[in-house]
Amino acid sequence: MSNPLFKLYTRIDTWLWSHDARDVGRLRRTVKLSLRTLVVLIRQFLEGELNLRAMSLVYTTLLSIVPLLAVSFSVLKGFGVHNQLEPVLLNFLAPLGPDGVEVADNIIRFVENVEVGVLGSLGFAFLIYAVVSLTQKIEAAFNFVWQVDRLRGLTERFSNYLSVILVGPLLMFTAVGISAAIVNADLVQQLIDVEAIGFLFVTAGKLLPTLLVIAAFTFLYVFIPNTRVKFVPALLGGVVAGLLWEGSGWVFAQTIATSSKYSAIYSGFAIMILLLIWLYLNWLILLMGSQVAFYVQHPQYVTREPVRLHLSNRLQERLTLQLMFLIADSYLKRGDLWTLDGLVQYLRLPMQPVHQVLRVMLDAGFISETSAEPPAYVPRRDIHSMTVAELLRVVRSAGENRLLTMNRLPQQVQIDQTMGGLEKAIESGLGNQTLHDLVEQSPENDKS
């Protein structure tokens, strides 16, 4: 306990977590929140879940990179800008050094050999499936960061994914082309000749690649997660991820890619090992940036101990009744139907536990989803016959299966009598009260 390092750690820990950051000035609050977020990010990294997600995405990327580039190549070829694909790929693989050029050449050669027009309908379907599966894995990883356990609907998934896959490359190269056209304009060239303005243009030209990376990351953070992400948190996450990406590329090129140890150990496989490491770092940085955006948007998760989203029995029962009440009330009074996002915002709870209870009600046949995107919830059964006791009984037994059930426990007369008495107390206390009774007895519900 007399260790000076321990005392220093205790003082720092006390200063960082003991007081509410809102009680201090703006500068100190910003510093505290930034340091707290950094500590939480390090803890998240050490827990290993983001690492596993990044590794999974590396494997999926290797399987999908050629189909993805083949689809983008076909779109860009129709507009005559397909030759710009290789410089972008070379820029991405630049930290690999000379090996990056070889990898890029091989990938482009594979892409050029993929004749989309002669694949046939079945071959083209498999090509699109490989591309969509990569995007789906990315969404699943981002949803994990944002505490969302629900993927987009199948129709919405295909329409959104394909719009990004098909239109995204075209918009990216259009933006690059417009910026190049502006730079080559006569007026701009005359302005560049002015020393001060020329310096600004040169500086902007050096910063443009980083700004494009930040813009791309920000777009992904807003679009990919199946939840509403605000622009400012997404932008901050994009800035952090973009700077990390640029910095890690420089470090990777100066240390790992130029090291001869990999060639000595792995021989001809060294280039593949370096590619895997670089892909892993890129996915990890992308996920860490998304984690930054999550913590900026939800600072209540920046705590000394990890926040576990496990519902207590009491909260699960309360949440079940409240969700069923809201859904039945809006349906009965013909108001706006509740969606998952609407319920989350109204209840001011994370999406994961709300969706967990809704899944229990869906599986039990109490509610149904509409075919709209996003789906809304309506009662599946007559609310006059849906008793409150039945709802509580279903949610209390949620998660039981043939391996985890009351019947598998050894018989114990005293315990069985106590549990039976508890069930009878609930039944007698609630009587035949139905969901319709709850709605009719309540004042007009306000969604605001």
Domains of the chain by residue range: 4-47, 49-301, 317-441
Residue with tokens 């690492």: 51
Average the pLDDT over each of 3-17, 109-123, 218-232 and give the range with the smallest value.
109-123
Spatial contact of 127 and 119, defined as CB atoms under 8 Å apart = yes
User: What average pLDDT does range 87-92 have in this prediction?
Assistant: 72
**391: exposed, middle or buried (Cβ count in 10 Å: 0-12, 13-18, 19+):** buried
Residue 172 predicted with pLDDT over 80: no
Question: Residues of the chain with pLDDT > 70: what percent?
Answer: 73
Residue 111, pLDDT above cutoff 70: no
Please say if the pLDDT value at position 96 is more than 80.
Answer: no
DSSP 403: S
As a whole number of angstroms, the distance between CA 258 and CA 279 comes to 17
Top pLDDT among 86 and 212 is at 212
Residue 107 has which token pair? 């990938």
Q: What is the per-residue pLDDT across 35-87, written as a single tens digit (0 to 9) for each? A: 888 888 888 888 888 888 998 888 888 877 777 777 666 666 665 555 666 67
Tell me if the bond preceding 353 is cis, omega within 30° of 0: no
CA separation for the pair 92, 18 (Å, rounded): 43
Does residue 237 surpass a pLDDT of 90?
A: yes
**pLDDT per residue over 273-313, tens digit each?**
888 888 899 899 999 999 999 988 888 788 777 767 677 88
pLDDT band per the 50, 70, 90 thresholds, residue 448: very low
**Burial classification of residue 127, based on how many CB atoms lie within 10 Å of its CB (0-12 exposed, 13-18 middle, 19 or more buried):** buried
**Highest-scoring range by mean pLDDT, 211-225, 314-328, 363-377:** 314-328
Contact 130, 302 (CB under 8 A): no
Alpha helices in 303-442 (DSSP H): 313-332, 340-347, 351-363, 388-396, 413-430, 435-441
CATH second-level architecture of 317-441?
Answer: Orthogonal Bundle (1.10)
Task: Compute the average pLDDT of residues 206-216.
Answer: 78
Q: Enter the DSSP assignment of 146.
A: T
Amino acid, res. 445: N
pLDDT digits (tens, 9 = 90+) for 343-359: 988 988 887 888 889 99
Cβ contacts of 95 within 8 Å, gap of 6 or more: 248, 249, 250, 252, 253, 257, 278
Can you state the percent helix, strand and coil of the chain, rounding each to 5?
75, 0, 20
**Distance separating alpha carbons of residues 279 and 32, to the nearest angstrom:** 32
Average pLDDT value over all residues in the chain: 77
Q: Are 71 and 166 within 8 A, CB to CB?
A: yes
